[in-house]
Structure 1
């Protein structure tokens, strides 16, 4: 009787959505192994996985550092810096990522190159170096730069919420003990704020993997772009986009599960 009840309890606690995802993963893996068309598509898209992960990781690390900077500006005592940071966050969050991606790639990049050439005018005129061209600004880095700016605005709000969640009494106690603002932030504020912001940061990382598909609009050879090229050449749209969806699902679901495990670990450590 006890075994039956424990079995029922275990079945009741099983996350059925995860079981369904596991079955989809097994089905996708079986198709790739057993079907020659799916196998060829997977080989053609494998380089895109590396590009997708590269763009996502570099952009996310850069956006995290930039977002932390603007969060500190927003929570600091200097009104000028606070207003600048607020303007930046509200402006960037109000522009769709795809529009900003095009703006950076086709407006910001040429303007940046023109500014660099203007600064280097004496060297260029003297023949010491050649003028920089827009083509030298790779589209992969334009995409990384655009994703960095877009996500930094959202991450800044995450960090701001984490910093403001720290009990102000602890900050006042640290200052009364003679700790400098930098040491107070490093020893008191940052460790506690990180516990609050890590789960939403993980969710943002998962979201960035999906949003990185937008860089295919610039011709960057990620999973989506390679899938688009392969399907247009072979007319195997159904099979190709099945593999594209399988690759994105594998990455996002795996990372989502890691984020959930990390959240549980944080909950236990708080207790």
Structure 2
């Protein structure tokens, strides 16, 4: 390599100045982050830890001994929440997708079906989940038509009924976001309505609404704890039993932390996927 080529590859003075400026900005950002973190910790210590009643609150809500003793029973209850979550998620995906397809059917002959699906989504998006749990968990068994089932079964049904209304609207938004030319092109190639939905529309729609679906799944991860109102011994009910036995609220805090640990991987995955989609959509943009 000649001397002229080495000189040509050497960064210019302007580029060297830019690199030095970026290094200075990075150092300033790191120092600012450390300073703000220390300031926030001091503020928490002054407003919470340094208060007169902190010792009593710590013994009542953050007692390590009580947490260790309650952990086996609370974690057993959490596995029940996980099982309910898995079956509820599968049921919600299937039922909500069916609702979304019914709401997108065209033609006057399908008006009753569209109206019924719209009424269902309006109803279950308006009724609080805890009321649906009471109606399903105590009302349906009271009919004496169904065989005796466990409380977690009825809790799963209530979760499916409620979250299907929300997720179906997410699917419908994704279906309607696909440009009509895609549907027309597929039909012009001889595909039926079902083949068009399955091979052309739904793959694009699901890809568009995946971040929203992941957020709904995160929301359902914490709402699955409401099945305790039906008597199911999940993490929340196990914490309630331990609290009644020890007169200490630490088991509730323990159950809350376990729910956070359960949801955290999905939250981080959702953030990563959302950032990836945004980066892909902005690729090549001047912004």
Q: Which runs of 5 or more structure 2 residues have no equivalent in the other structure?
A: 1-19, 41-62
> Distance between the aligned counterparts of 2:180 and 2:279, measured in 1?
24
Aligned residue in 2 for 1:89: 121
Aligned residue in 1 for 2:17: none
1:254 aligns to 2:253 (yes or no): no
Q: How many residues align?
A: 234
Output the TM-score relative to the length of structure 1: 0.79
Q: Find the partner of 1:181 among 184, 193, 196.
A: 193
Aligned residue in 1 for 2:52: none
> Distance between the aligned counterparts of 2:206 and 2:259, measured in 1?
28
> Distance between the aligned counterparts of 1:170 and 1:218, measured in 2?
47
What displacement does 1:266 show? Answer: 2.8
Q: Find the partner of 1:110 among 142, 147, 154.
A: 142
Aligned residue in 2 for 1:129: none
Q: 1:73 to 1:266 in 2, by over 3 A?
A: same
1:16-35, aligned counterparts within 5 Å?
35=64
What displacement does 1:11 show? Answer: 7.1
1:5 aligns to 2:35 (yes or no): no
What displacement does 1:36 show? Answer: 3.4
> Distance between the aligned counterparts of 1:161 and 1:35, measured in 2?
47
Task: String of CA shifts for 1:37-96, please: whole Å, max 9, x gaps.
Answer: 322222221111111111112112101110110100001112121111111111222211
Aligned residue in 2 for 1:28: none
> Distance between the aligned counterparts of 1:262 and 1:220, measured in 2?
34
What displacement does 1:13 show? Answer: 9.0
SS of match in other structure, 1:137: coil
Q: 1:153 to 1:11 in 2, by over 3 A?
A: farther
Task: String of CA shifts for 1:126-182, please: whole Å, max 9, x gaps.
Answer: xxxxxx4xxx21111010011101111111111110100000111111111212212
> Distance between the aligned counterparts of 2:163 and 2:185, measured in 1?
34
1:140 aligns to 2:152 (yes or no): yes
What displacement does 1:231 show? Answer: 0.6
Output the TM-score relative to the length of structure 2: 0.75
What displacement does 1:10 show? Answer: 6.2
Q: Which runs of 5 or more structure 1 residues have no equivalent in the other structure?
A: 21-33, 117-131
> Distance between the aligned counterparts of 1:99 and 1:186, measured in 2?
35
Aligned residue in 2 for 1:264: 275
1:159-238, aligned counterparts within 5 Å?
159-237=171-249
Answer yes or no: is the 8 Å Cα contact 1:195–1:266 preserved in 2.
no
Larger displacement relative to structure 2 (67-76 or 239-248): 239-248
1:149 aligns to 2:161 (yes or no): yes
> Distance between the aligned counterparts of 1:11 and 1:49, measured in 2?
41
Q: 1:212 to 1:185 in 2, by over 3 A?
A: same
SS of match in other structure, 2:178: coil
Who wins on radius of gyration, i.e. which is larger?
2
Give the CA RMSD over aligned residues: 2.4
